Amino acid sequence: MKRTITKAFALALLCSFLHAGPAVAQDPNAGRNLSANCFTCHGTGGNSVGGVPPSLAGRASAELFQTMKDFQTGKRPATIMHQQAKGYTDEQLQAISSYLASLKPGAPRVPSKAAN
Ligand code: HEC
Cα–Cα distance between 89 and 41 in angstroms, integer?
20
Could you tell me which of 112, 108, 100 has the C-alpha nearest to residue 38? 100
For the Cβ of 94 lying below 6 angstroms from any atom of ligand 1, the answer is no
pLDDT tens, per residue, the chain with 116 residues? 556 656 665 555 544 544 555 567 678 899 999 999 999 999 999 999 888 999 999 999 999 999 999 999 999 999 999 999 999 999 999 999 999 999 999 865 566 666 54
> What pLDDT was estimated at residue 15?
46
Cα–Cα distance between 47 and 17 in angstroms, integer?
37
- Show Cβ contacts of residue 65 under 8 Å, excluding neighbours closer than 6 positions: 93, 94, 97
> What pLDDT was estimated at residue 38?
97
For the Cβ of 54 lying below 6 angstroms from any atom of ligand 1, the answer is yes
Residue 4 Cα to ligand 1 middle (Å)? 48
Residue 18 Cα to ligand 1 middle (Å)? 31
> What pLDDT was estimated at residue 94?
97
> What pLDDT was estimated at residue 110?
64
Rounded to 5°, the CA angle 46-49-55 comes to: 35
Residue 38 Cα to ligand 1 middle (Å)? 7
Atom of ligand 1 nearest to the CA of 88: 38
